[in-house]
Structure 1
Amino acid sequence: MDIAFVLYPDMTALDLIGPYEVLGQQPEVTAHFVAESREPVRADAGLTIVPTTTFAELDRADVIVVPGARGWAKVLAEGVVAAWLREVHPTATWTTSVCTGSTLLAQAGILDGRPATTHWALRHELAARGAVVSTERVVVDGSVVTAAGVSAGIDMALTLAGLIWGDQRAEFTQLFLEYDPRPPYGTGSPETAPAELVAFARGVLVGS
């Protein structure tokens, strides 16, 4: 099974690494790190990842994983990722996104009329691009699976693992990763965080 993990400059590293840790270790999987070129790609916080292939070289994959980025608008404007997604999505078994990666799926026409989720601060942007926005952490609609912000990529990948290999494999993977979140603060969503913190975060995220 070929899984394409999409790379582009200033993407959010956990959007990619979380799903990779869940899916990339499965014995049936060959992971491909695909980007516009084979030059190292620097994520937003400085982590550098070396692509194994390019958009021009990889014209199909069984599963596609698209991370998001704080600078999502720039990636949309460049149009490179969306152009590749239009080409490969029709033959993929699963097309997935994490966080604002869903805006790239929408730009490619993949989310037209579909329920989908994204980072809470960008739901309006996703709606403006033709998706039916959900507030769920993970949304499965046919062959398309979208995740909310950043850490939700792990939930998305475990959901996908269950769909592909069955619940027992997904449960083992969750146990192996010791994925048992117990955050020290209760501010992980706009529904639970103080209003002033939500407003500040929205300004940072939407204005970036």
Structure 2
Amino acid sequence: MRAAFVLYENMTALDLIGPYEVLAGHPELTTHFVAERTGPVACDSGAVLHADTTLAELPDPDVIVVPGSGHWRPALENDALIAWLAAAHPTARWTTSVCTGSTLLAAAGLLTGRPATTHWAVRGTLAELGAEVVTDRVVVDGNTITAAGVSAGIDMGLLLARELWGGRMADTIQLAIEYAPETPGDAGSPETADPDLVTTVRALINR
């Protein structure tokens, strides 16, 4: 089973690495870091990942994982990636996204009239792109899974592992990575965070 972990300039590293760490250790999965061209790809945090496969070299992956970006508006102008998503999705077993990655799926026409989620600050744009926006942390619709902001990619990865390999394997992976978050604060969603923080973060993400 071939998995395409999509790279593009200014993507958010954790969006991709979270589900990658959940899924990549399974022997049935062959992972590919795919981009328009091979070589280094700079993330929005300054981290650099390496694309080992071009989009053209992997037109029909079984699993697609699309990260979001802290600079998500320019990503919507990545015509090559959007065209690849539109072409690859029909034969993929699972197409997934994390954070604002769902806006790329929507731009490719994959979410029109379908329930999907994204980072809370970008829900309006996702709706404008044709999706039926859901506020859940992870949304499954057919063979498409969308996850909310950044850290939700780990949740998405575990859900995908459950779909691919069953509950026992998913639980084994969760235990192996010791995923049992106990955050020191309660500001992880716009519903629980201070309203001033919500305003500040919304402005940062939509700049």
CA contact (8 A) 2:39 2:52 kept: no
Q: TM-score, normalised by structure 1?
A: 0.98
2:69 and 2:146 mapped to 1: Cα distance?
A: 15
* Per-residue Cα deviation, 1:66-109 (whole angstroms, up to 9, x for no partner): 00001111011232211110111010000000000000000000
Q: TM-score, normalised by structure 2?
A: 0.99
Moved over 6 A (4+): none
The aligned counterpart of 2:18 is 18
1:80 and 1:73 mapped to 2: Cα distance?
A: 15
Following superposition, the deviation at residue 206 of structure 1 comes to: 0.9
1:190 and 1:135 mapped to 2: Cα distance?
A: 11
The aligned counterpart of 2:78 is 78
Following superposition, the deviation at residue 49 of structure 1 comes to: 1.2
Runs of at least 5 residues in structure 1 that lack an aligned partner in the other structure: none
Mean Cα deviation higher: 70-79 or 142-151: 70-79
Task: Provide the aligned length of Structure 1 versus Structure 2.
Answer: 207
Output aligned runs, 1:48-67, within 5 Å.
48-67=48-67
Root mean square deviation, CA, Å: 0.6
2:181 and 2:87 mapped to 1: Cα distance?
A: 37
1:78 and 1:59 mapped to 2: Cα distance?
A: 17
SS of match in other structure, 1:65: strand
* Per-residue Cα deviation, 1:10-39 (whole angstroms, up to 9, x for no partner): 100000000000011111110000001012
**Given residue 30 of structure 1, which amino acid in structure 2 is its aligned partner?**
T
CA contact (8 A) 2:12 2:43 kept: yes
Output aligned runs, 1:173-192, within 5 Å.
173-192=173-192
Runs of at least 5 residues in structure 2 that lack an aligned partner in the other structure: none
CA contact (8 A) 2:146 2:156 kept: yes
SS of match in other structure, 1:130: coil
Output aligned runs, 1:148-167, within 5 Å.
148-167=148-167
* Per-residue Cα deviation, 1:100-136 (whole angstroms, up to 9, x for no partner): 0000000000001110000000000000000000000
1:15 and 1:86 mapped to 2: Cα distance?
A: 21
The aligned counterpart of 2:196 is 196
2:30 is equivalent to residue 2 of structure 1: no
The aligned counterpart of 1:31 is 31
